[in-house]
Amino acid sequence: MGLTIRQIRDNTTRARHLMQRSRQQGFAVGAFNIDNQETLIAVAKAAQKLQSPVLVEVSDGEVKAMGLENIRDLVDNYKVEYGIEMYINLDHSPTVEDCKRAIDAGYEFIHIDISQANHDATEDEIIAKTREVVEYARFTGALVESEPHYFGGSSNVHEETIDYEEIKKTFSTPEGTKSFVEETGIDTFAAAVGNLHGKYPVPKQLDLSLLAKIRESIDCQISLHGGSGTPLHFFEEAARIGVSKININSDMRYVFRKELEKVLAENPNEYAVVKLMPQVYGAVQTVVEEKINAFGSAGKAVI
């Protein structure tokens, strides 16, 4: 059942207040990808237990799997059932049209990522299409996020180590960040400071000094993508520096699959899989709680 424009604007106003609180109080909000109902339950339970605000986020593939409106309804239902502060973020959306559909559906956070579909997209093209989404989002008040170039990696488990010399070529710069934010009018800048999509055999290393300089160069919010596999102390410091949103996906997917494999092996004669799922989403909930505590958002929900 769709939301009214008044309900959508009330939600986006609360979302904007959340981002303001994150800066004022020095915490970051976890944005947790879901591709099934069980993962959504895990996020909701963690948010309820720790009284933390959370973002549920879905990429293009996850929207295709679950349905744009279905996700809106599921999040709203669990938000009421668990009594939690929860919003939806459209993650790495590759087209302006998809962003507009999500805005119309009442998604509070929109990430337009033109380079996701076209890695060779020019900065001028990225700026123009990002500005189009920013203009469209003004009707509902949705917060728009973007970045000026392709963000590497994939939300999977990788066997290769991280080539930081190569990754550093795509790091954000204070000057480039400031220019991009001014030209697009975005609400949130997706910074690249060593964060990388996916889970790797070595821990990720964030350039916190660079992050602090980026924070000083702009007034809008900052997000960190590719949070999985990052030592928790980086998150704690990033929140203190002024990061408002941190994305987590691969760590959850990895635990979901490993726990599912385990529980299926332990119950070879159980075909009502729904009976086995609480153990699975319980394991995912533990991961979400760990991130929430590192982000400093526990106890920060406003219902």
Active site residues: 91
Burial class of residue 102 in the structure, from the number of CB atoms within 10 Å of its CB (0-12 exposed, 13-18 middle, 19+ buried): buried
The torsion region of residue 104 among left (phi > 0), alpha (psi -120 to 50) and beta comes to: alpha
DSSP string of 39-94, one letter each residue = HHHHHHHHHHHHT--EEEEE-HHHHHHH-HHHHHHHHHHHHHHHT--EEEEEEEE-
Tell me the C-alpha distance between 274 and 286, whole Å.
19
Tell me the C-alpha distance between 174 and 213, whole Å.
6
Tell me the C-alpha distance between 47 and 55, whole Å.
10
Integer CA distances (angstroms), 73 to 2, 12, 67, 106, in order: 8, 16, 10, 10
Whether the Cβ atoms of residue 191 and residue 223 lie closer than 8 Å to each other: yes
Bridge partners for 58 per DSSP? 90
Tell me the C-alpha distance between 164 and 142, whole Å.
34
3-state SS, residue 85: coil
Considering just the CA atoms, what is the radius of gyration of the chain in Å? 18
